[in-house]
Amino acid sequence: MPKHKKKSDLPSKICIQCDRPFAWRKKWANNWAEVNYCSERCRNDYKKRKQNTKQDD
């Protein structure tokens, strides 16, 4: 065990919209596994981007 305890040993993820890392927050305590965006704004932007990108499969 490391003697030095890190100040921020919270889990973190990479936002799938802006590709920036973001740290765990209390408001995500119940659904951290489902959180993919750093912010509400990124979530909205990602949805918009998806709508604009039509896939012709």
Instruction: Pick the closer one to Zn ion by CB: 18 or 35.
Output: 18
- Is 15 a residue that touches Zn ion (CB under 5 A)? yes
Contact call for residues 45 and 17 (beta carbons, < 8 A): yes
Mapped onto helix, strand or coil, the DSSP state of residue 55 is coil
Candidate segments 4-12, 24-32, 33-41, 48-56, binder of Zn ion by CB under 5 A: 33-41
- Is 35 a residue that touches Zn ion (CB under 5 A)? no
Q: What letter does residue 53 receive in the DSSP assignment?
A: S
Site residues (vs Zn ion, CB under 5 A): 15, 17-18, 38, 42
